[in-house]
Structure formats: structure tokens, C-alpha cells
A and B are shown apart, each in its own frame.
Chain A
């Protein structure tokens, strides 16, 4: 015989035998050792206690009748030792002794063996009892673990019978309003639940009991306006009861809803966002395709919004955006005036794509005209003044329309074309509706390509400055040069500034471009300094955007100083509209520049809306007559008198006057006659590269036979 459960290298289980009769101990030892146990012996109850405490045996055999401490008393005391609580204890009782057997169990014995002991069977008995104890212990441990698991679970558990009566229950960590209510009322949960849930559960219970498979449902409970959501799982428990596990998923539901809101709605206005809009459009396209119907996208952009946002701050900008959102929502409501213009089947959905871009999706419109009518109406509604904190704002949108299937059959194309149509509306003068047309996309693509190339060229400094000399008519000397930016596209060749400057302005590249010009002009001046061209000033054109940068004067002065140049070597040219857009700030900025020693000329004079009273306020040095007036000189008409008026005005204000675009000798003679100070144009010199202009200036200089005059001396000599 050998111990079946304890073979191999495992340590043999230890049995303690306590008996005062030595032959009993000897036989027990022999029998147990044969069965694979190690044996400890004790001669009486007291020794049994101390050995058991010290050695922690796996099983204890106690004779009842022992001196000192009898078997029952020893058993009671052994059970009080913590590590022996679960140890099997077998009491050896006298034969036919019911009382002993009862006493044995009462004192905590696991089992008894009556004497005389059948030694051949002792090993089997002990092994069986020790295995049963181990199994029992394992069960107790596993139950304990299960209890811990169940305690830790957020879920509530119930065992219910067919009729929904609760047999056992465990309230989960998170509890369950639904179940608390049922269980506390001590009746069938099916009676306590709202009808709808009760019906669903009744069906589930029946199905689980019949098919023996798990069933799952989601239950929704409304209580005083609060919403609770539960995930309920039922599985067969016994033949006629069901285990029900319920989890409160209310928080998860709320989080899901919030995530959804964040993902699909614009937080500022609460309107559906770009994401939802694209989904709506793709659904609408599917629908329209199925019905052979039409749909239109109205793409709105607020013309003057960016300026309002920049000048008045984001908080006002946000208020206006919300205002626009509310108006749009109002417009698409069925009972609104706008809705009257659409057929009864049509639906309208508003979205905000971001920034100041909004869309209205028109489903099932009858015609493109209908979409246009809606767009016009919305335009009118949005164009009405808005009031905020006593201020009045007027926002004018541009609208582009693209319709399925004419202008695109998929989401991307439709949205892109509506966007293009919107840009076209803007370029046609804003506050208007434009329909997408095929040629738009060719133009737009070309424009996008130019924009992209220009951005790269500016970043790489891949542009060039050309210089056009100005001539003083009286002294016949060169008074300076105007820097003109030139751009050569890698594939298209040279691109006219008239084309790329507006692109730079629209694409937000003009600031970078202007900085590049400023930097390049200063480097050019530096390369001339210390040479015979030391005194030639360069004039640069400042764009309106750059001029309105709050630190424009500091940027310019810093560029000059960085190159170690005198301030008067750089001149600035600004257009009339730049000057007039913000008179107060312009005066201050110009004052600071002038104080620093720079000269300022008003470019393209006569084409904008100059207010003469403002003009007087500006600390400027010169006016440049626009080429359009010069080109007509000598052909009769009004232009001669306009030129005469500008020259007279300049003289009266003490300003230098320069005529641009002088191409013929006849024009030159007129200007000279009228008293114009300086000229610039092909007649005298074309714009030239840096090298060419240097050569030109040197040859001019040598013809004069003397050094070119200092720039700051020139106007004062010739102006009056």
C-alpha cells in the first residue's frame, strides 16, 4: 500500500496518534506508515496538545481514555488552536459506546473509530477522512473566494423563481434602484416592476428556463425625471429558477451621450458639427439617389466676421456666432417664413463646420431655384442687425450652393463645390448667393496650386526684388528706387504681382511676404552702403495687413538697425485705403515712423477715397499719382486736370509729388509743366534686377559727373 494522494517527492502527511497504550501506538504507527503517512506519538492528552501545537500534523488520532487529559478534553483544546481549526481529528472510542461517539462529535472531532481498531483498515480510514477534509477545506476556500468576488462586484444578483419571487439576493456595490424597489416590497419582482420591463422579464425567464441559454436585456427606468439604465442578464440556475445579474449602466450611458455630443455637436453653438454634417449629407445623397430626387447644400461664410473677431475679441465673436446659429435654426423651422418657400417634403438641417462657416442641408428640394430662394431668404434674415450690449452688428454672409446630382454625386465633391461657390460669391462682392458652376473648379484649382507654390516660395525666400529708379525732374538726378517683388513659378514662369499679391492677401501669406520684402530691401541697402550707391534710398510697399500689425513700426526699425543703416535710407509706400481704414492708429504709427526718420509716400493716390481733412492729419512726405491718371495725359479728357489738382494739392500741403507709370516724353512734358517733382516709369527706367539697377545707377552717376545727391536733400530742393 502507498499513499495515493501523496506520492513522489511530496512530503508525507503527518498523523499524530495519542494513546497511553504502547501496543496501540506501535500498531497504529505500523499501519499508518504502510499507508504512506509519517507518524508522531503522544502518550497522553497533554503531550498530544503540545506536539500538535508544535508540529501541526495533518491528522490527529485521539484515544478517549488517557491519563492526564482524556481524548474529549484534548479534542476541545486542540480545536481552540488556530492552525488546527480545520485539522481532521479522529477519536478512538470504546465499542458499542453511543455516548462516547456523541461526546466525540460534541468536542469537535471530525470522525470516530471504535475499538478494537481494525488495523488493516486504519490506513484507508485515515486517508479517506483526510481527503474528505481536504475537499471540504477546498470547498470552503472556494466559497470564500466566491463570496469575495460577489462582494466586490458592482452588479446585483438575484435568484428568482418562475413567478419572479426572490429566492436569494445580493445587492451589488453600486446597488440598483430597480431591484431595491422590488426586493423591499417582498413580492414578485414582476409585480413591482413597470409593466414594460415586467413583460420583457417574464418572456426572458420563460425562455431561459426552456432553452437553458443566457438572455440579456437593457432596461430603462424613469423616476421623477431621472433616467436609469440597467443591463440585465438571466441564466438558468436550477430547473425552475433563474439567476439574474443586473448592472447599473446609467453613468456609462450618460458618458456615452456626452461623448456623442462632443463628437457630433459643436460646443459653441450646439449645432451639429462637420462630422454630423458629412454623415447627414451622405445619408441624404443615398436617399436622393433612391428617389431620383434633388438635394442642395447651402454653404455660408460670414464676410466680415474675422474682422469683428480680431478687433472686438473672441467673446463678442462667440456671441455673434451663437446668434447666427439661432437665426439659422429659426429659419429652418417648419413654421418659419423661410420654410414657406420650400415644398412640403423638403427638410432643412443646419450645421456649423467650424469658424464662421455654416451649412444648411436641403433634402428633397423640388428645384435648384427653390434652394436659391431659401438661400436668399436666409441671407436676408442673417443680414439683419444684431444687438449686443448696446452695440449693433451687421453680419453679411456669402452663400454658395451646390446641388445633387448636377454639381456632384458624392459628399466630398458636393461640399467642395458648395465651398467654391461660396468663395465665388465673396469675390463677386460678398453678401450674395452664388451657384456652383463647372468653370469655378478649374479656376479654383489653379488658384489653389498658385497659393501652394507661393507659400513654398515665400518660406524658401524664393522671390526676387526688382528696383525701379525715380528721377527728379528739376535736378535730373535719381532720387531713389522703388522695390517691386517678383515671383517666378517653377512651371508657369513669371507671375504678375497683380495676380499673386491678392492671392497672398487672401491666403494669409501677405504678412510673411511683406516681411521678406522688408528684410531683402534692407540687405540690399546694406550691400550698397560704403559704395558709391551709399545714398540711394529704397522704397518698399507696405500692405494694409502688415501696416495694421500692432508692432509694425518696431519691426521696420529693427530690420533697419539690424543692417546698421541710417533710418532715412528706407522709404515706405502705403495706399490710400490702408491709410483711411483706421485713421487714429494710422496717425500714431506714422508719427512713430516719421520720428524715427523714415519717409512715407501715399501710393496710387487718387484712386481711393481720400478724405482731404484726414490727409492733412497724416505725417506724410509724398504723394504718388496713380498711373491711370498719368497714362491718359496728352489724350485730352479730365486726367490732365486731375494730375494738376493732385500736384497743386501736394504743393499746398508741402508734400513731394511723384508721377508713376510715365511712359512717353509727352507725358513727361505735361508733368514737368504742371510742376511735378519726380517721375517713375519706363520712359526713364524699367524695374531692374539688383545688379542691373546698380549698373544703371553708376552709369547715370557718371553722366552727371558727380556723386548722387543724398536722398533726404532731394525733396526739399525740388518740392517747392
Chain B
């Protein structure tokens, strides 16, 4: 896959929204993603386990935009696919997508962690 883990353009967009004197916006957004994505992933696995399609859709929908906001485009794309699969009731597709999502989130979180550290320095 050629898609970068984190879209630098999205990061630049957030940097442009930074107001002087305010807390670092990018780090705030990244922190929020790091904080929430982990628990959301766990809840996804739980939903899958209990076969709750609507919970899967809801979580995927949230992940879709929160990941897009930090430029984690692969996570966002997978969340979109997951949301669609959930809507279609395709549980097996969901299982595969959640596994891939799990991997993508870990990847993105690592990259974002580095970016946040560089940003704070």
C-alpha cells in the first residue's frame, strides 16, 4: 500500500488552525485519538464478539472521522469499509476488517506518537 500512515497535509491543516498562545492543537487532537482509539478498538472486538452490528457501525462511524481528523487515512478508509459492512450485516467481512483496523490503528498510533513528540520539542 502506498498510502502514507499519516497524511502530512492533514497535519498541516491542523497546524494552520493553531492560534498563538493557545495549547498545541495538533497534539491535543493526536492525544485525543491515542486516548480514544484504543478503547474504541476494544469495544469493536466486544461488539463483534456479541454480534452487535449497530454497535460496530456506530464505533466505525466515530473512528472514521476521528482518524480522518489526525490524517490517519488508512484507519479512516478501513472504518468506512467497516461501517458499510456492518450496515450490510456482513459479519465475516467485519471480522477481517476489524483485524486490519487493529493493525492500522497500532501503526498510526506509533506514527502519531512520534509526531507529537517532535511537535512538543
Interface positions of A (Cβ within 8 A of B): 20-24, 26-27, 30-31, 33-34, 65, 115-116, 118-120
Q: Is the CB of B25 within 8 A of A30?
A: yes
- 5 A-B pairs whose Cβ atoms sit less than 8 Å apart in the complex: A21-B62, A21-B66, A23-B65, A26-B28, A116-B76
A116 to B13, CA, bound (A): 13
Residues from chain B with Cβ under 8 Å of A24 in the complex: 65-66, 69
Residues from chain B with Cβ under 8 Å of A20 in the complex: 62
A65 to B87, CA, bound (A): 15
A560 to B45, CA, bound (A): 137
Most buried by B among A21, A33, A119: A21
For the complex, is B18 an interface residue (Cβ under 8 Å from A)? yes
A31 to B18, CA, bound (A): 9
For the complex, is B103 an interface residue (Cβ under 8 Å from A)? no
Residues from chain B with Cβ under 8 Å of A118 in the complex: 13
For the complex, is B14 an interface residue (Cβ under 8 Å from A)? yes
Of the residues A27, A34, A65, A120, contact of B61 by C-beta under 8 Å: A65
For the complex, is B19 an interface residue (Cβ under 8 Å from A)? yes
B13 to chain A, nearest CB (A): 6
For the complex, is B2 an interface residue (Cβ under 8 Å from A)? no
Q: Is the CB of A27 within 8 A of B16?
A: no
Q: Is the CB of A31 within 8 A of B17?
A: yes
Q: Which B residues from 84 to 121 make CB contacts under 8 A with A?
A: none
Interface positions of B (Cβ within 8 A of A): 13-14, 16-19, 22, 25, 28-29, 32-33, 36, 58, 61-62, 65-66, 68-70, 76
A70 to chain B, nearest CB (A): 12
Task: Find the B residue at minimum CB distance from A65.
Answer: B61
Residues from chain B with Cβ under 8 Å of A31 in the complex: 17
Of the residues B19, B32, B76, contact of A22 by C-beta under 8 Å: B32
Task: Find the A residue at minimum CB distance from B33.
Answer: A23
10 tightest CB-CB pairs across the interface, nearest first? A30-B17, A23-B69, A116-B68, A23-B32, A23-B66, A23-B29, A30-B25, A31-B17, A21-B65, A119-B13
Q: Is the CB of B19 within 8 A of A30?
A: yes
Task: Find the B residue at minimum CB distance from A115.
Answer: B65
Residues from chain A with Cβ under 8 Å of B66 in the complex: 21, 23-24
Q: Is the CB of B14 within 8 A of A33?
A: no
A31 to B19, CA, bound (A): 9
Residues from chain A with Cβ under 8 Å of B16 in the complex: 120
Q: Is the CB of A34 within 8 A of B62?
A: no
A26 to B19, CA, bound (A): 12
Task: Find the B residue at minimum CB distance from A123.
Answer: B17
Task: Find the A residue at minimum CB distance from B28.
Answer: A26
Of the residues A21, A33, A115, A120, contact of B19 by C-beta under 8 Å: A33
A67 to B66, CA, bound (A): 16
Residues from chain A with Cβ under 8 Å of B69 in the complex: 23-24, 27, 116
Please judge, given known A-B contacts A21-B62, A115-B65, whether A120 and B13 are in contact too, CB under 8 Å.
yes
A564 to chain B, nearest CB (A): 112
Task: Find the A residue at minimum CB distance from B67.
Answer: A23
A1 to chain B, nearest CB (A): 10
Q: Is the CB of A34 within 8 A of B32?
A: no
Residues from chain A with Cβ under 8 Å of B14 in the complex: 27, 30, 119
Given A20-B62, A30-B25, A115-B65, 5 additional A-B pairs, CB 8 A: A23-B33, A27-B17, A30-B17, A30-B19, A65-B61
A193 to B13, CA, bound (A): 71
Residues from chain A with Cβ under 8 Å of B28 in the complex: 26
Residues from chain A with Cβ under 8 Å of B32 in the complex: 22-23, 26
Q: Is the CB of B65 within 8 A of A34?
A: no
A27 to B33, CA, bound (A): 13
A218 to chain B, nearest CB (A): 69
Please judge, given known A-B contacts A23-B32, A23-B33, whether A116 and B25 are in contact too, CB under 8 Å.
no
Q: Is the CB of A30 within 8 A of B18?
A: yes
Q: Is the CB of A34 within 8 A of B68?
A: no
A120 to B22, CA, bound (A): 18
Q: Is the CB of A26 within 8 A of B25?
A: yes
Task: Find the A residue at minimum CB distance from B16.
Answer: A120
A297 to B28, CA, bound (A): 110
Q: Is the CB of B19 within 8 A of A23?
A: no
Task: Find the A residue at minimum CB distance from B68.
Answer: A116
A659 to B14, CA, bound (A): 140
Residues from chain A with Cβ under 8 Å of B65 in the complex: 21, 23-24, 115-116
A116 to B73, CA, bound (A): 11
A30 to B28, CA, bound (A): 11
A22 to B30, CA, bound (A): 12
Residues from chain B with Cβ under 8 Å of A65 in the complex: 58, 61
Residues from chain A with Cβ under 8 Å of B18 in the complex: 30
B52 to chain A, nearest CB (A): 15
Q: Is the CB of B61 within 8 A of A23?
A: no
A240 to B54, CA, bound (A): 62
Residues from chain B with Cβ under 8 Å of A21 in the complex: 62, 65-66
B79 to chain A, nearest CB (A): 12
Q: Is the CB of B13 within 8 A of A23?
A: no
A26 to B23, CA, bound (A): 11
B20 to chain A, nearest CB (A): 11
Residues from chain A with Cβ under 8 Å of B29 in the complex: 23, 26-27
A119 to B25, CA, bound (A): 13
Task: Find the A residue at minimum CB distance from B17.
Answer: A30
Residues from chain A with Cβ under 8 Å of B61 in the complex: 65
A118 to B25, CA, bound (A): 16
A33 to B32, CA, bound (A): 20
A23 to B61, CA, bound (A): 13
A292 to B28, CA, bound (A): 110
Residues from chain B with Cβ under 8 Å of A115 in the complex: 65, 68
A20 to B58, CA, bound (A): 11
A27 to B71, CA, bound (A): 13
Residues from chain B with Cβ under 8 Å of A119 in the complex: 13-14, 17
Task: Find the B residue at minimum CB distance from A63.
Answer: B65
Most buried by A among B14, B25, B65: B65
A5 to chain B, nearest CB (A): 20
Task: Find the B residue at minimum CB distance from A30.
Answer: B17
Most buried by B among A23, A27, A34, A120: A23
